[in-house]
Amino acid sequence: MTAETEAAAEIAGVKLERIARVIARAGVSSRREAERWIADGRVKLDGVTVKTPALNVAPDAKITVDDRPLPAREEVRVWRYHKPRGLLTTHRDPQGRPTLFDKLPKELGHLISIGRLDLNSEGLLLLTNDGALARRLELPANAWVRRYRARVFGQPNAESLAALAKGITIEGVRYGPIEAALDRQQGANAWITLGLREGKNREVRRVLEHLGYTVGRLIRVSYGPFQLGTLERGKLDEVSRRVLKDQLGLTFVQHAHKRR
């Protein structure tokens, strides 16, 4: 879109968005994946191959991926999912290991995880049909607290756990403040509750192992305002539209088309 066209759209009150975001909002990919598709030459606008993701387009732009038009954009939807151990949070695994997306109902279409849980972690995972929303909610800038319960082997020291509130550096990687407290000691094992805002790769496991505690079980019990609660392992529960409005604001809901 040219500068003149963008100026005309602004005058007309048409909201423009980056093309990768528009593709993500169609529910066919994440924004990062859409950017890779653009780099691979798979995306066209009005029949012309798009060469850069830094392109602003109108909501009704004629975009195709592999010469197929984007599906009509659905209403933004979010689910709570109780991820079991032993499932990868990915759509495809080169080693053929089971993924959580293999277990989901096919009629839900292409869903995207908001953040990840590693193979041996379990608990709350948020899923959505909106790639742009997924990207927005997993950013550390949102400062949403992720809470975990960890069962560890050993007898945790209260002072070392409290010191995590100042952050910690492990092998050159800086981890931000972590709220950590001992829940209870059961013989050789203990349960610890932790709250963190960054959620770097394997952060909880790395930090606890650095302190000398082997993690036997790791459960995420909340992600921001969303709670695991009594949701059964392997089950999905859709978040109501009212809760999406209350917790996320209208930004991610008001522009969505009505579900067909």
DSSP 94: T
Full set of structural domains in the chain with CATH: 3-69 (3.10.290.10), 78-141+225-248 (3.30.70.580), 145-223 (3.30.70.1560)
Model's pTM, two decimal places? 0.72
What is the Cα–Cα distance from 56 to 6, expressed in whole angstroms?
8
Q: What was the pLDDT predicted at 15?
A: 66
Which are the contacts of 96, defined by CB distance < 8 A and separation ≥ 6? none
Helix axes 131-138, 31-39, angle to 10 degrees: 120
The active-site residue out of 118, 130, 183, 237 is 118
204: amino acid identity, one letter: V
51: amino acid identity, one letter: K
Burial code of 211-222, b = ≥16 C-beta within 10 A, e = fewer?
Answer: bebebeebbbbb
Backbone angles phi, psi at 114, to 5 degrees: -95, 100
Which are the contacts of 233, defined by CB distance < 8 A and separation ≥ 6? 82, 84, 122
Q: What is the pLDDT along the chain (260 residues), one digit of tens a residue?
A: 444 444 444 433 446 888 988 888 777 888 889 999 999 999 999 999 999 988 998 877 899 999 999 887 677 889 999 999 999 998 888 898 999 999 899 888 889 999 889 999 999 999 998 877 887 887 767 778 999 999 999 999 999 999 999 999 999 999 999 999 999 999 999 999 999 988 788 999 999 999 999 999 999 999 999 999 999 999 999 999 888 888 877 344 344 443 43
167: amino acid identity, one letter: G
**183 classed as catalytic:** no
